[in-house]
Structure 1
Amino acid sequence: MNNAVLLKTGRRVNFAQGTSLKAVVLVLLTFLIVLPLTKTVTSTLQPDTISAWSDVLVGRLSRNLFYVPLFNTMILGVGVAIGCVILGGFLAWLVVMTNVPFRRTIGLMATLPFMIPSFANALAWQALFKNARVGGQVGYFQGLGLDIPDMLAWGMTPTLIVLILHYFSLAFTIIAAALATVNSDLVEAAQIAGAKSWRIVSGIILPVATPALLAAGSLCFAGAVSNFAAPALLGLPVRLQTLSTRLFGMIEVGQVARGYVIGILLVLVSALLLWFGNRVVSGRRSYATMTGKGGRTKRFDLRQARWPLFAVCVLIMAVSTIIPVLVLIASSLAPASADLFSNWTLHYWSGASDARIAQGTAGILLNPDISFAMVVTIGLGTSVAALGLVIGLLTAYAAARYRTGWASAVITQVSNLPLLVPGIAFGAAYIAYLGAPIGPLPALYGTFALLVIAGTAYLLPFSVQTGRAVIQQISGELEESARLTGAGFLRRMTAILIPLAIRGLAAGSLLIFVKIIRDLSLVMLLFTPTMPVLSVLAYRYASEGFTQFANAITVVILLISVAVTLAANRLQAKSQPWLKV
């Protein structure tokens, strides 16, 4: 009897704790996500700003403000989605389902391009292909005497190529995971029936991989339409506008209401396409390929094509990863991009101020502005990783451990909402939200606090996924036992959950750190001279023609990103031993 009463009392306490925790999480999500997005909409509906909607949609400037940038954005999104699915799917098929040489090495290399910031690839492209159309230094190939056409140096074509080479690794990861689940019995049955390899691929493998293909295409589309760096560096010099660059331009020149309207429309475009992709997948139910029977992977024998296809893989890896990194390093050492591999100097890294070089700008290691930006960037990454981990863990815990009730569903949906919002639109939302005083609270524009809060909210979906993965590893029975002995919520978290999953939490924090320090879209509108970050400084230097400084800063960001990502992967492998299998 006493045990029954104790159990009943424990359940009531647990329910009360769950209700309180969900209420706290809902309040946090409201302040971090719901209010900024709501404020953006309401700020365009005021008597003095509502005309911005007609200006953007039907006014005499609407063609240049919205419809032409929308057309360019859709071309980029669709082109990148198709290119990434083809390229990533091809590599995934080779790695997972064929006997191509050095499969594991190819698989590892195929994941590296996503570690490189997209503006790094754009800067590397400029160093190689820039021509004299917009003035300034010309690229390496033009310096060799080659006539680089405008369509290859600027505009839609190079932007498409750069974004495909950046995002295809995302498609590779998703499609490879799906192909790894294809049961070999299906393939063997088709082979016994006499089906050719191309017929097996088109009739069996492609249909069962359709959800992964659509998911990969949708995510790559969303990434491309929200990307600011590549269109800005390669498109703006020739007046190629996308919605993200047009949004930035409107706010930069003080037309804030129009910028907010464009940001809202950009969010709607991204959300609509992601919804459509999910709708297509959910409309079909015949994707199951895993049964209760054990299965082994069936690999296609490439025969004489093994080494030629391996050479194609090496070429893809070189173009997407190795060459851009080498070009950035060389460009940070060369006095001019036209002489990329000669007359190297360390001036742009460690040289003192010299009026004859780069208008007297000192090397990045001696430049106080860049040193301060380094401190701000590292501090931003550390703060967002720590704060995001705490909020993400609480959010995941509330949704996973207390699943009943409408609040859990709302928490799950709202915490994933930033995935639908392009970074530059999210930055605009935070300018509308915290850029002006709110009651007794001062305006936060230009402060470190605004960068941290906006970064934490923007990357919250990744923090929540980290927390969810950690919680799923630990049985609820451990916490239930501790709760019955009188351990409170904080005690259970600090004594059981966090110690058992510290490696996974640390790995997730490191990945969040990497995402924020290499991000340009989110912080582009939040940047101020009093609170600089490295990614925006690199963009500003590149825009002003100081390409060596821009590339040197980008190399620093790249080195930090790769080192921290490798450390995170190592921690994940130790916390999840099955990843080594």
Structure 2
Amino acid sequence: MTARAGLRARLPAGLGLNLGVLALLALLVAAPLMTILMQTLDPERIGAWSDVLASPLSRNLFWLPALNTMALGLGVAAGCVLIGGFLAWLVVMTDMPFRGLVGFLATLPFMIPSFATALAWGTVFRNGRVGGGGGLLEGMGIAVPDALAWGMTPTMIVLIAHYYALGFTVIAAALATVNGDLVEAAQMTGASRRRVLFGIVLPVVMPALIAGGSLCFAGAVSNFAAPALLGLPVRMQTLSTRLFGMIEIGQVERGYVLAILLIGLSAVFLALGNRLLAGRRSFATISGKGGRARRFALGRARGPLTALALLICLVTTILPILLLIAASLAPMASSLFSGWTLHFWIGEADPAFARGQAGIFNNPQLLRALTLTVAIGAVVAFLANVIGILVAVALTRHRLRGISEAVSQLSFLPMLLPGIAFGAAYIALYGAPIGPLPALYGTSVLLALALTAAMLPFAVQTGRATVAQISGDIDEAARLTGAGFFRRIGAITLPLASRGLLASLLLCFVNVISDLAIVVLLYTPTTPLLSVLSYRYASDGFHQFANAVTLVILSISTLAAGLATLLRGRNRPWLSS
């Protein structure tokens, strides 16, 4: 007993906790990624690399999808920085009225699933090229060109409308740190507003522009829903849709190669963004002195710019929801505001209507999907936050050189990984038996594990922020009185961090129930989820049912996100002055 106590005394404090969370993160994050890499390097499967990269099939398997993916990512990043930066500048730096409303609306599009925005786009612009009824414009006799109905252009527009909220949030936070005294000093020397904007403000927030653009690029290249709904009908493939297709038809080795290449593409561009950021670290915007906000007077442009900002926000938030509601009630999208019926919601099965499909709330599959989605969302949110708080305590209270860096990197890695590639990695590792453990493919356990790993970055970041606010002296005092680790977590950390953790639980829940990229590869008919059900309805041409299911997801997401916002409080410092 004495020897064991002496050994424990010689070991660094928190070593067991750090090793435990490192092992857990290795199983959840590192092992699946290593598995797909090792499977593609197996002598019997290594030919998949040449099939994808250097064969008669490679043009359609990789090079064209990669080109489309790059064009989509760069276009979305540029569009998000332009729109997000424009709105951030108006909200933070100008005397525009309704700044609070615009600032609130500009953060909402990211809460709306991208497949919801894609469905709303199709409701208006869909044409009859790929069969089925046209959209609202075609019903009004307006010929919609193919380039506006399908393919790269609508996909890019939908993704910009979805991701510009990321750019707005990052850029607005950076603009809020610009000291108004700098702007005032420049104006006193006779500098024009244009010179101040491009000579002072823009260089100062350049790191935020790069960071926001990198995040939007990563989101766009990994997005599955919008390219699938708007691109696949005209055979426009991206790496994410091609990866899904390969695994769906059983060519898993080629799918794993595409997953690795997609991860590598995202990593390269994120690394380039980080390199550019590293070269601009000399910009300091926060000092120890108090600063005053300095707002530009818009003058005669005040009205038009305010109208433009409100229009952008309304078109990307309120309008898609209104279109989805109307489209879930109208028998035909071409007559969107006439002949409304509740059949698609509560109707009985009728062979003469909607090809015999019952309304979603009379569909046992929908009710099963609703129950399973909410249950998995709750379980994943709980598990991710339990792991998140353990990781946060390890990184905040017991940092160990080397181990802590590995824990930090692994906990953040899922944020950088394309969701569909992450799903492929989980199929590779846990889809087959491992020793005495059974195969998990087709079970809700696999869905829960993959989604828990994907939610770790949100849970860990929230956990670190809340744990860092709790004085270490409280924990140390409890330890000296003999309280064990889990006793201190339950009696001290969780009660004091409860507000932030509840918000994190709700945000993880929102992300889980609206996720499609990860679960689209992992679901089976025995494990239906709402997001996949909506996608399948849309793919099969049942757009009204798809819209109705999407509205159910939106209702649950909006309620949970609203509760999370109330718990976190208003965190918009750029509107405080």
Instruction: Spell out the pairing of 1:198-277 with structure 2 (5 A cutoff).
Output: 198-277=194-273
Matched, 1:545 2:541: yes
Offset from partner CA, 1:159-206 (integer Å, 9 cap, x none): 010000000011000000000000111101110011111111111000
Q: Does 1:95 align with 2:91?
A: yes
Aligned to 2:381: 385
Letter in 2 for 1:146: I
Matching residue within 508, 514, 523 for 1:512: 508
1:305 to 289, 301, 304: 301
Which moves more between the two structures, 479-488 or 220-229? 479-488
Q: What is the alpha-carbon distance in structure 2 between the residues aligned to residue 194 and residue 127 of structure 1? A: 52
CA distance in 2: counterparts of 1:216 and 1:250, whole angstroms: 32
Matched, 1:372 2:368: yes
The one-character-per-residue Cα deviations of 1:10-66 (angstroms, maximum 9, x if unpaired) are 996696550010111011011101110000111111222110000001111111100
When normalised by structure 1's length, the TM-score is: 0.96
User: 1:400-419: CA deviations, max 9, x gaps?
Assistant: 11123211111001111112
C-alpha separation in 1, matches of 2:9 and 2:113? 48
The structural deviation recorded for 1:472 is 1.2
Aligned to 1:559: 555
**Which secondary structure does the structure 1 equivalent of 2:41 belong to?**
coil
Structure 1 CA distance for aligned equivalents of residues 573 and 132 of structure 2: 52
1:11 to 1:398, Cα distance in 2 relative to 1, 3 A: farther
- In the TM superposition, residue 397 of structure 1 has moved relative to its aligned partner by 1.1
> Offset of 1:299 from its aligned partner?
0.3
Taking only the aligned residue pairs, the percentage that are identical comes to: 60
The secondary structure found in structure 2 opposite 1:205 is helix
Looking at structure 2, the residues matched to 48 and 494 of structure 1 have their Cα atoms a distance apart, in angstroms, of 51
Moved more, 505-514 or 467-476: 467-476
Q: TM-score, normalised by structure 2?
A: 0.97
Which of 108, 133, 140 matches 2:136? 140
**SS at structure 1 position matched to 2:362:** coil
Q: Distance in 1 between matches of 2:7 and 2:437?
A: 40
2:334 is aligned, of 314, 333, 338, to 338
CA–CA distance in structure 2, aligned partners of residues 236 and 444 of structure 1: 29
- Name the counterpart of 1:438: 434
Aligned residue in 2 for 1:282: 278
Give 3-state SS (helix, strand or coil) of 2:280's partner: coil
Q: Which residue of 2 aligns with 1:159?
A: 155
Q: Which residue among 321, 334, 353 is the counterpart of 2:349? A: 353
Provide closer, same or farther for how the CA distance between residues 119 and 395 of structure 1 changes in structure 2, counting only shifts above 3 A.
same
Give, in angstroms, the shift of residue 218 of structure 1. Answer: 0.1
Cα deviation for residue 470 of structure 1 reads 1.2
Change (3 A) 1:579 1:513: farther
Q: Which residue of 2 aligns with 1:395?
A: 391
Structure 2 equivalent of residue 123 of structure 1: 119
- Asked if structure 2 preserves the Cα contact closer than 8 Å seen for 1:573 and 1:580, the reply is no
Is the deviation greater in 283-292 or in 53-62? 283-292
CA distance in 2, matches of 1:419, 1:363: 37
How far does residue 361 in structure 1 lie from its aligned partner after superposition? 1.2
SS at 1:459 equivalent: helix
* 2:78 is the counterpart of 1:71: no
Task: Quote the RMSD (CA, aligned, Å).
Answer: 1.6
Is this contact kept in 2: 1:49–1:257, CA < 8 A?
Answer: yes
Measured after TM superposition, the shift of residue 286 of structure 1 is 2.0
CA distance in 2, matches of 1:239, 1:172: 32
For 2:58, the equivalent position in structure 1 comes to 62
Equivalent AA in structure 1 for residue 380 of structure 2: V
* Residues 173 and 574 in structure 2, CA contact (< 8 A), matched pair in contact too: no
Q: What is the aligned partner in structure 2 of residue 33 from structure 1?
A: 29
**1:407-418 map, 5 Å:** 407-418=403-414
Aligned to 1:421: 417
Contact 2:138 2:334 in 1 (8 A): yes
CA distance change for structure 1 residues 514 and 13 in 2, over 3 Å: closer, same or farther?
Answer: farther
In structure 2, C-alpha distance between the alignment counterparts of 1:354 and 1:100, rounded to whole Å: 54
Runs of 4+ in 1 over 3 A off after TM superposition: 9-17, 576-581
Cα distance change of structure 1 residues 184 and 534 upon mapping to structure 2, 3 Å threshold: same
Pair 1:127–1:10, CA change in 2 (3 A)? farther
Mapped to 2, the partners of 1:406 and 1:65 lie a distance apart of 40
Q: Distance in 2 between matches of 1:187 and 1:15?
A: 54
Q: How many angstroms apart in 2 are the aligned matches of 1:180 and 1:215?
A: 16
Q: Provide the rounded CA distance (Å) in 2 between the counterparts of 1:580 and 1:460.
A: 30
- Between the aligned partners of 1:548 and 1:18, the Cα distance in structure 2 is 55
Deviation at 1:306, TM superposition (A): 1.2
Give the CA deviation at 1:289: 1.9
Number of aligned positions between the proteins: 572
Relative to structure 1, the CA distance from residue 272 to residue 391 in structure 2 (aligned partners, 3 Å threshold; closer, same or farther) is same
- 8 Å CA contact 2:15–2:400 kept in 1: the answer is no
**Structure 1: stretches of 5+ with no match in the other structure:** 1-8
Q: Distance in 1 between matches of 2:363 and 2:466?
A: 42
- SS at structure 1 position matched to 2:317: helix
Letter in 2 for 1:488: G
Alignment of 1:518-529 (within 5 A): 518-529=514-525
The whole-number CA distance in structure 1 between the counterparts of 2:573 and 2:282 is 29
* Superposed counterparts of 1:467-486, under 5 Å: 467-486=463-482
Specify whether residues 353 and 282 from structure 1 end up closer, same or farther in structure 2 by C-alpha distance, changes over 3 A only: same
AA matched with 1:161:
I
Deviations 1:269-314 (A, max 9, x none): 0011001100111012321022222111100011121111110011
Answer whether contact 1:510 1:564 (CA < 8 A) is retained: yes
Query: CA 1:510/1:579 → structure 2, altered by over 3 Å: closer, same or farther?
Result: farther
Determine if contact 1:79/1:160 at 8 Å carries over to the other structure: yes
